[in-house]
Structure 1
Amino acid sequence: MVRFKNRWLLVEFIPCPQDDALPSIRRTSESNITSKDIYAAMKQSVLHNFGDTGWGAVGYSLTVKYFSPTTNICIIRVGRDQHKIAWGAVTLLSTIEGRRFIPNVVQVSGTIKHAQFAAIQHNHIVVARYRALAKTPAGYQDTYGSFLDASTKEIEALQD
């Protein structure tokens, strides 16, 4: 019996304001995208850039396993042989549901465990960025601590 091998893409979607092309660091709670929207945008990107043959190769194994609207982090599973097509489709993606984003592929992993570790670490970096922008003192209690705990548990609960 042969095991199905995957690659895991950890992607950050950086939102762009509608009036300029420069990225901004803000929460996407204003933009309300979901994992289904990301999947649909990925499908359209693969079809547009790689055609029906590309979608035929990638479509059966492409899955959006996790998306956090607070930190814009997404974990995508794709077959090992087709991961370069999916990576290219993510890189060429510019809009999701009419909203502009800059996709940043943070890591490509061979196992879900490494993708989980990278996602947790990246969440800490993004939350530190939010705290620095808010200019809060070090001892200040905010909701990001509880968010980090909840997101860590949710990411660790992901199964292949």
Structure 2
Amino acid sequence: MVRFKNRWILVEFLPLPFPNQQSTTLNSKQIYAALKQSIIVNFGDAGWGAVGSSLNVKYFSPATNICIVRVARDPHRIAWGAVTYLSSIEGQKYIPNVVHVSGTIKHAQLAAIKHNREVVARYRARSNVGSNSYEEYLAKSTAEIESLQD
């Protein structure tokens, strides 16, 4: 029996603030719908047919806008391309930053935890808030990411 081989894409969505535009919080369903639309627009029905059955948003953190997307190994470049072509989700402008692509969820988790630590360190350097809130967030997000299953 052959196992289903995946690629795991770690993406950070950087919001662009514009005047007269309300900041909305993203969720997994909105990201999935935007990815689907991007694949259909940029790669057509053939692209969606190749990617659609395996595309899944496995994890999303609204605090850091980090997302882990699962897709089949063979057409993963279509999903990767669709992510980079995204410019807005639900009317809010975003810059998608593909942080890491891996073959296992474990390596995607490790990359997400490392990236979270870097982002939180940047936030901590900018603010004067006590480190307890950041430490609590890091512990919570690390537990959430580590609990993901394939």
Give TM-score, length-normalised by structure 1: 0.89
Equivalent of 2:76, from 83, 91, 95? 83
Q: How far is 1:129 from its partner?
A: 1.1
User: How far apart are the structure 2 equivalents of 1:141 and 1:112?
Assistant: 29
Q: What amino acid sits opposite 1:52 in the alignment?
A: D
The answer to whether the aligner puts 1:152 opposite 2:142 as a matched pair is yes
Equivalent of 1:56, from 49, 61, 69? 49
User: How far apart are the structure 2 equivalents of 1:132 and 1:79?
Assistant: 38
Q: What amino acid sits opposite 2:131 in the alignment?
A: Q
User: How far apart are the structure 1 equivalents of 2:30 and 2:132?
Assistant: 30
Q: How far is 1:141 from its partner?
A: 3.2
- In the alignment, which residue of structure 1 is the partner of 2:88? 95
- In the alignment, which residue of structure 1 is the partner of 2:35? 42
Q: How far is 1:31 from its partner?
A: 1.8
Deviation per CA, 1:108-143, whole angstroms, max 9, x where unpaired? 000000000000000001111111221x28xx3341
Q: What amino acid sits opposite 1:149 in the alignment?
A: A
Q: What amino acid sits opposite 1:143 in the alignment?
A: S
Q: Secondary structure at the match of 1:81?
A: coil
Q: Secondary structure at the match of 1:143?
A: helix
User: How far apart are the structure 2 equivalents of 1:49 and 1:62?
Assistant: 16
Q: What amino acid sits opposite 1:6 in the alignment?
A: N
- The alignment's C-alpha RMSD in Å is 1.1
Q: Secondary structure at the match of 2:57?
A: strand
The answer to whether the aligner puts 1:108 opposite 2:98 as a matched pair is no
Q: What amino acid sits opposite 2:115 in the alignment?
A: H
User: How far apart are the structure 2 equivalents of 1:47 and 1:143?
Assistant: 41
Query: May I ask how many residue pairs the two structures share in their alignment?
Result: 147
Deviation per CA, 1:81-112, whole angstroms, max 9, x where unpaired? 01000000000000011100000000000000
Runs of 4+ residues over 2 Å off in structure 1? none
Unpaired runs of 5+ residues, structure 2, are none
Structural mapping, 1:58-77, within 5 Å: 58-77=51-70
User: How far apart are the structure 2 equivalents of 1:18 and 1:53?
Assistant: 35
User: How far apart are the structure 2 equivalents of 1:132 and 1:91?
Assistant: 29
Give TM-score, length-normalised by structure 2: 0.95
Query: Any conservation in 1 of the 2:10–2:112 contact (CA below 8 Å)?
Result: yes
Unpaired runs of 5+ residues, structure 1, are 20-29
